[in-house]
Structure 1
Amino acid sequence: MTTDARDRLAGLTRPPDREDLLQGARERTRRALEAAARSGPTPTRPVARWRIRPAVALAAGGLLLLLAGVVAWRSWPAEPAVLVTLPADATPTSGTTGEVVVDVVGEVRAPGVVHLPAGSRVVDALDAAGGPTADAQVAAVNLARVLDDGEQVVVPGPGTATAQQPGLDLNSADAADLEALPGIGPVLARRIVAWRTEHGRFSSVDELAEVTGIGPNLLADLRGQVRV
């Protein structure tokens, strides 16, 4: 047997050194850990999730409720129109037909009740009653005055009480006529006409005291200037 063969045989039969055993154990442990790490489950990335803020959620909910209300309101059945019919014998008032009804008496050829368009004047009422007679005192009547519905136009004749009575007729004078009176301006003139519209004809001059703004002193000044 040669020397080399004897050395290899001695190396095989010689017990391993302790240091070599520890080194080999460390190496095998390291390899086992690496293999286990490679064969383990692959880590997954966390899945991102949407996050909604509470304020945004409340605003979205309110908008949905508003839209639902609008849709419900539009789909709600409309109330049927109510038709009002007047009885067959109902007669509309002159204020709704644009008409005034006036009683023309005195010195006219055809005295009586006449129907005229709203805004007509005293001269129109006289024409509708056939015109004044030869004895009519036309100067005592304000022919340019605008007529009120339901009033009476008196055309005086010679010696009649109306012709002899001085002063402005409170029941036939318009606002422009009343403004010519002492102490009566546009405001008081409109108030007198409004009182007459609300309460009807003046039955006495003293009823002027019921008009706001006319006190005892002004009423005393007007007594000789007006009549009813």
Structure 2
Amino acid sequence: MDVSINPEKSVIYAASKGREFIDFNGKRRTYPIDKQKQNQLDNLNKKLLSLVKDPVFEKFSLIGSGFQRKFGQTTIARQDINGSIPEDESYNFLNKIKTVVSDLDPENQNFRIEDTGLDIEIILTIGDSQSGLKDFDKGDAVKFLDEKLRLGMTNGPHLICGDTYSDIPMLKTAKGKTDDTWAIFVTKDHKLAGKVRNVCSNSIIVTEPDILITILNFLSKV
């Protein structure tokens, strides 16, 4: 926010997978979190903070995404794009985090863990009328933002940009609202690219972020 060069009131900024956003009036608005779940997340963050202060595990707070306490979830790196952590050490750290989470939530009611291979994302669960407890994903974020901001997403066109598997639910939900949905994903992962194309035929796959920026710059002038 402090370093953004976008004109004021031209962009709505969302974070924490869309679980929070700042509207055009500068007001922070959030997806509701049960107090008991928030307490559990606070306890988890205390344990993880203590863990990464240990010299054995400190490196995981310094590589890649580091240790990020977000609204409704926590992210901690276990590897970076250069593969600087030996694989066995990275997997051992993943298992260590799973143990910490399991000790706090033995019945698996409050947390879900997503492992991207680089980051460990620990996400508070939400209730779903069809599937019961689930993690909050970016598809839920699209529904939340559409409702609260009255975006009217049944009318397109919409452009969804992403670079990881956790962005797929966002694309699916937008596509479910209207076929006039387009996607640009930045990835060299052929499996991810295939999933994107299966969800949305109006998709473009690029290999570098700069290509996406160039496309967006061009579209802004059309």
Q: TM-score, normalised by structure 2?
A: 0.23
Q: Which has the larger radius of gyration?
A: 1
Q: TM-score, normalised by structure 1?
A: 0.23
**Higher helix fraction (1 or 2):** 1
**Higher strand fraction (1 or 2):** 2
